[in-house]
Structure 1
Amino acid sequence: MTRWAMVADLRRCVGCQTCTASCKHANATPPDVQWRRVLDVEVGEYPDVQRAFIPMGCQHCDEPPCAEVCPTTATRKRADGIVTIDYDLCIGCAYCTVACPYQARFKSPRGAFAYGSKPTDNEELREDASMRDVATKCTFCVERIDAGTARGLVPGVDPEATPACVNACIAEALAFGDIEDPTSNVSQLLARNQHFRINEELGTGPGFYYLWDKKP
């Protein structure tokens, strides 16, 4: 069975925020709604302190806390691991935004655009009234994945079927693929490198892995 997942190589990420910009462009999210962001943190102890950039967003959990608290079943997990939102069922209660331990959910207000009340051409092209006043988040660009796989393309290999942030990463720090396939790009990366998942101890089973060093 397919399980889509994303991998971020923290040794390669330079904090350029290109993934953030590409996500914003691809989804035309309103101000203060950022599905993909990059944290800038310090790691280590003085005098051996280093700077690390950590791409963040929806982790597409195996056990998503957001789905457990949703009173309308608008949030669901697909068989391939992608957590989706049915905007027709969402009532905008924002319970999911509180339950998410990754701060990855946002409520998109109406009439909010990058430069005031008038949308840019890109925003107007992508404007979807059903996604206003409801919970929104990263979807792993599920429309690209579904359209691509229907054409026989491979997500993570063929750009047209791959999340926009992965395509845009100038350092090739992001990878996407099927972790259930041992020959996939993400499986090979995890096999060769030490890695971790954020808040894994909560039992959420995140579908976002972070590489930090080669395996001994």
Structure 2
Amino acid sequence: MVIDTKRCVGCNACTVACKMANNVPQDIFWTRALTDGGEMMDTPAGEFPDVSLRYITVSCQHCENPACAKVCPVGATYKDPETGVVRQDYDKCIGCRMCMSACPYTGVRSFNWEEPRYPMDFALGDADAPKHQKHVVEKCIFCYQRLARGETPACMDLCPARARHFGDLDDPDSEVSKLLKERSYEQLLPSEGTKPSVYYLV
């Protein structure tokens, strides 16, 4: 995933698209738009007239070297060998939350303490989205059910600013590969050695 921070307007359409497509339980978000610089949402950094405002959308970074998968005692957190997506097997998860402790990216995982609750009395989104369970850890799965159908993640489809790009970094002709060759970029917490698969164009 390549996210253009110069195009992102912090509208949280990606947050809503993710929540709807995956029928994410109430009060849980797999992705969110954060303000870089200011202490509160939508507040600039600096002092007038020298101010700046930038948004960073944060979710699971789908690391090449995921710390979460290394500590999971039952293999419920694992990296899909075909796509590189870091996935969760809810049926295997024992709720120990070791993955949450090991992940250096604060707030990208959530734990269902109770039976999942929803704003509607019927399921929303993709019919083949994973079913949520009590006492398991959840996170962004790059809409794996959509990838299996040859589609792109919902967050990318709904982005009105077209700030999100998704593709195969192993393919030098893919859009994401070309963007990373043309533009400067950064990754979150590279010092952790997890090698995240989410890149932010600057």
In the superposition, the TM-score normalised over structure 2's length comes to 0.87
| Structure 1 match to 2:147 | 145
The correspondence of residues 23-38 of structure 1 with structure 2, limited to 5 A, is 23-38=18-33
Partner of 2:7: 12
Distance, in Å, in 2 between the alignment partners of 1:72 and 1:15 is 37
CA contact (8 A) 1:77 1:84 kept: yes
Correspondence for 1:151: none
CA gap of 1:170–1:180, structure 2 versus 1, over 3 A, is same
Change (3 A) 1:67 1:192: same
Local SS of the residue matching 2:148: helix
Amino acid in structure 2 at the alignment position of 1:141: C
Residue aligned with 1:122, SS: coil
Higher helix share: 1
Aligned pair count reads 192
- Does the C-alpha gap of structure 1 residues 92 and 66 become closer, same or farther in structure 2, counting only changes over 3 Å? same
Matched ranges for 1:28-107 at <5 A: 28-42=23-37, 45-46=46-47, 47-79=49-81, 80-103=83-106, 104-107=108-111
* Cα distance change, pair 121–75 in 1 and its aligned pair in 2 (3 A): closer
Verify: 1:165 aligned to 2:167, yes or no.
no
Q: Is there any run of 5+ residues in structure 2 with no aligned partner, and where?
A: 38-43
Q: Any idea what SS the aligned residue of 2:53 has? A: strand
Between the aligned partners of 2:59 and 2:67, the Cα distance in structure 1 is 15
Structure 1 residue 61: deviation in Å?
0.3
* Cα displacement string for residues 149-199 of structure 1 (whole angstroms, at most 9, x for unaligned residues): xxxxxxxxxxxx100000000000000000111110101111110001000
Q: Does 1:108 align with 2:112?
A: yes
How far apart, in 2, do the equivalents of 1:33 and 1:100 lie? 18
Letter of the structure 1 residue corresponding to residue 195 of structure 2: G
CA distance in 1, matches of 2:122, 2:36: 33
Q: Give how far 1:45 is off.
A: 4.4
- 2:74–2:93 Cα contact (<8 Å) kept: yes
**Aligned Cα root-mean-square deviation (Å):** 2.0
Paired AA for residue 73 in structure 1: G
Q: Note if contact 2:8-2:163 (Cα within 8 Å) is conserved in structure 1.
A: yes
For 1:33, what is the secondary structure of its paired residue? coil
